[in-house]
Amino acid sequence: MSSYNYDTFPLDFDMQAFIDFPNIANAGTKAPDGKVCNLLTNKWEQLSTYWKEKTTIIEFGSVT
């Protein structure tokens, strides 16, 4: 199991991520691009495919 996919919610839940957030992918800069798997088609596609078509709202999350 990787530390990213932790089994137990960390006691010090990744505070560095909160500290770093104001300096990552800021407004006015290029959005990070990369491959994601489309659940419907089960195919990997470039994230930029979406924003090249229309301005795109990207939400991140999970079941829990």
Positions that interact with other proteins (CB under 8 A): 1-2, 4-15, 17-18, 20-21, 24-40, 42, 45, 47-48, 50-64
Nearest C-alpha neighbor of 31 from the set 11, 53, 18, 48: 48
Minimum Å distance from CB 39 to other proteins?
4
Alpha-carbon 7 to chain mean position = 20
Q: Say if residues 45 and 36 touch (Cβ distance below 8 Å).
A: yes
Minimum Å distance from CB 46 to other proteins?
11
Minimum Å distance from CB 10 to other proteins?
6
